[in-house]
Chain A
Amino acid sequence: MLHILYERLNVQGYRTMAYPAAPPNPPPERFRGLPVIDSSKCPPNCRECVDACPTSAITQADGKLSIDLGRCLFCPDCTEACPENAIAYSQDYRLAVRNREDLVYDGRAVRLAESLDEKSRRIFGRSLKLRQVSAAGCNGCEADVNVLSTVVFDLGRFGIQFVASPRHADGLLITGPVSQNMKLALEDCYACTPAPKFVIAVGACAISGGPFIDHPEQINGAASSLKVDLYIPGCPPHPLTILDGLLRLIGRIEHEFPPAAK
């Protein structure tokens, strides 16, 4: 017992982050967050980034680039292919939205997720129970959802908890492209969740199929089967991105912490 107390007091310490009351520790310098697009730099007839993108997330129309953040793997294939640095990644970890179309990003501000209506906030704002379903996720998103329950992020302090049964849940948090083999289990799980209920899609796979887009073995994400209420993009999203998304949904983000300019 004394060893445990000694370890806690002298080595391990108190580790829970002050966020969302204070800014979080910034992600690493090389972190690839919200892209920065400057179409004015694009050389005429250049399609290097469009062709390099592994998931066809980038489109070009009338000389304007746009990136579907729901398909984006946040990899450097486009930034490396671009001869003029027309695309770069920022440190901005805030990416969650309520509508699928809000993920199609042309360089202007992203319409970040709005909170639930007043009545729903009263019900869920201080107690939100989620059932996580991995539907062919690679264990990247799963791992960074799991991490929210550690002492660092301490999801419990917001009343958010992952529960063992859909019967106890207010919603599902889905990862993975939804394989044909998981589709039935996912739909059963949704049916077992009492209404009112939400669906949260975490990661490129759950939003669009991610690297597995259009494989016949999967269905291009949760929205192909269920109505999705919150989209959290990334491959996988940083834990801060997921936490930010969940807190936005229940109206618990009171201060915005935009990243420091590079």
Chain B
Amino acid sequence: MNGSAGVTIRNGQALPLADVPHVSTTAFLAAIWERTRSGERISALFGAPGVPGDAGKTRLFAVLADDQHGTLVALSTSVGERYPSLTPDCSQAHWFEREIAEQWGILPEGHPWLKPIRFHHSYRPGHDVWGRKPDDFIPCSVTNYFKMAGEEVHEVAVGPIHAGIIEPGSFRFQCHGETVYHLEISLGYQHRGIERQLIGGPNKRTIHYMETAAGDTTIGHTTAYCQNLEALAGCRVPARAQVLRGVALELERLANHTGDLGGLATDIAYLPTAAYCGRLRGDWLNMTGLWCGNRFGRAGVVPGGVRYDLHDGYVQQMRDRTAGARQGLTGAANLLFDATSVLARFEDTGVVSLEDCNKLGLVGPAARACGAERDVRHDFPSGIYRFVHIPVSAVRSGDVFARAYIRWLECQRSMDFLTEQLSILPSGPVRQDCKPLEPDSFAVSLVEGWRGEICHVAITDGKGKFAAYKIVDPSFHNWAGLQMALRNQAISDFPVCNKSFSLSYCGHDL
């Protein structure tokens, strides 16, 4: 066996489960190591005990993405109670291996940073890498934080409840004076047990879990889920529905990017843009509401297409509203990026190098702000993005400025997309019935959500029900990027750095 172990799979494709190579653990780890060393990324790496493996062992799956060539590769192995950790030689694996250890009680031997990530009991009772008993109380975020020692060194603990209206998480800063030497982020407060409930589905609650996995990314996660279902059911989504999904996804991106530009302006007290973007964000949300009745796109995307069509009157309204919001957003963004006081605050703050970005496997705007030109819409296009190419935006400086400016660039591309697509909507139906799912199959679905790559992996059992369903929110990759951004920064830079990443707590905690 060598590093080429693995089967090539397209975004939104289903394969017989038997076609996913089931290799020795050594070959599995070697393949991941070699592929990531040559520039591929880990899109998913997870345990799936619901899928048969070698006797008495747990099945592990990996999906690797080659952004340059636009190929995805899947492979699997079976492991016992322990296996040699990838993390010392492959930093991208660090969070995934902690998740596997926590969910399934499998020890990645030699993991340098082995701590829980969500603070729950092992899903295999009696197998806990930290030796906790099934009835022990597990206090969230109580763990052995990285500590710095020395004179005048101090620790700042923030959270889980933060000052604003924001989800909970725990942050520990190791400081010397104002300077942060290290930030450690510990999450898990938002853990609702979604993945466990998906096994045995789909059922009537499944799509609602997708819509609320990260409620600000309803369209992204639901589309990723529907693509998997359509692949497993051999369902073809009508052209008009593909376009409407694209419109909804770009509206979601616009709403959140606009909100983040306003949030960044708020954090540095640049009030004109803060005020205008707060209002403009609502304009995008209300356009989603016009389409499906809900500002966050709930009930809009369904397996086989979309639930709601846009009649001609609505199309015209959307075009008019896009033009109006574009004028407002252009004005608000120009004020922000023309102000020297803003640039002085944004530039060289919270820098993440391209090298660190690639080692950590960052995705989305956070990666593109470091110069990593990766975008699922371009590299692994599905749906409307196979026919309409949205240019990839990239900035090289890796600082708060780059993460702010990339959002403005992406907003412009998304608005161009809306204007164009809303004037050439194909006719026809918007929903196709889906047949039952193919049994014993494996499907991967990627969507470029507003935070970056959303990866869903579905594996069905002999009856066509989910034997495993894996959700990887972009935040799962990117929280480590925020930790790196804070190194050698003033602690007062944290809010603006945090906002520049704008990550999901519940999408991570699931």
Contact = CB atoms under 8 A, between A and B. Distances in A.
A31 to B, nearest CB: 5
Interface string B287-308: 0011111111011000000011
Contacts of B442: none
B160 interface: yes
Most chain A beta-carbon contacts within 10 A, residue among B166, B189, B205, B272: B189
Interface stretch (B51-59, B235-243, B276-284): B276-284
A75 B279 contact: no
Interface stretch (A5-13, A60-68, A224-232): A5-13
B5 to A, nearest CB: 36
Interface residues of A, number: 65
Contacts of B213: 138
A113 interface: no
B506 A12 contact: no
Nearest to A146: B165
Contacts of A164: 163-164
A144 B286 CA distance: 12
Interface stretch (B39-47, B84-92, B325-333): B325-333
Contacts of A150: 275, 278-279, 281-282
A52 B204 contact: yes
A251 interface: no
B214 A139 contact: yes
Contacts of A162: 164-165
B168 A138 contact: no
B313 to A, nearest CB: 10
Contacts of B259: 143
A189 interface: yes
Given A54-B208, A185-B160, A216-B193, A143 B275 contact: no
Interface in B193-250: 193-194, 197, 204-205, 208-209, 211-216, 218
Nearest to A173: B165
Contacts of A189: 161
B433 interface: no
Contacts of B290: 28-30
Contacts of B165: 132, 134, 142, 145-146, 162
A168 to B, nearest CB: 11
Contacts of A31: 289, 293-294
B34 interface: no
A76 B307 contact: yes
A182 B189 contact: yes
Contacts of A55: 205, 208
Interface string A40-80: 00000000000011110000000000000000011111000
A242 B231 CA distance: 40
A157 interface: no
B355 interface: no
Contacts of A77: 204
Contacts of A132: 164-165
Contacts of B192: 136, 177, 179, 212, 215, 217-218
A133 B161 contact: yes
A120 interface: no
Interface string B498-510: 0000001110010
A134 B299 CA distance: 23
A135 interface: yes
A236 interface: yes
A255 interface: no
A32 interface: yes
Interface in B168-204: 168, 188-194, 197, 204
B191 A12 contact: no
B205 A54 contact: yes
A248 interface: no
B319 interface: no
Contacts of B279: 12, 15, 150-152
B238 to A, nearest CB: 18
Contacts of B139: 184
Nearest to B218: A140
Contact of A139 (B276, B278, B328, B504): B504
Nearest to A89: B293
B408 interface: no
Most chain B beta-carbon contacts within 10 A, residue among A89, A144, A179: A179
Contacts of A149: 278
B296 A236 contact: yes
A211 B215 contact: no
B338 interface: yes
A214 to B, nearest CB: 10
Contact of B190 (A29, A143, A144, A179): A179
A201 B257 CA distance: 28
B335 interface: yes
B434 to A, nearest CB: 15
A210 interface: yes
Interface string A1-38: 00110011001100100000000000111111000000
Contact of A140 (B215, B308, B505): B215
A97 interface: no
A67 B188 CA distance: 33
B331 A7 contact: yes
Contacts of A184: 139-140
A151 B214 contact: no
A118 B276 CA distance: 38
Interface in B307-344: 307-308, 327-328, 331-332, 334-335, 338
A138 B99 CA distance: 20
Contact of B335 (A4, A15, A177): A4
19 contacts: A3-B335, A30-B289, A30-B293, A54-B204, A55-B205, A55-B208, A75-B299, A134-B166, A139-B167, A139-B216, A139-B505, A140-B216, A141-B215, A143-B296, A181-B118, A181-B119, A211-B209, A217-B192, A218-B193
Interface of A: 3-4, 7-8, 11-12, 15, 27-32, 52-55, 73-77, 89, 132-147, 149-152, 162, 164-165, 176-177, 179-182, 184-185, 189, 210-212, 215-218, 235-236, 238
Closest A-B pairs by Cβ, 7 of them: A138-B215, A140-B215, A30-B293, A150-B278, A217-B193, A181-B140, A164-B163
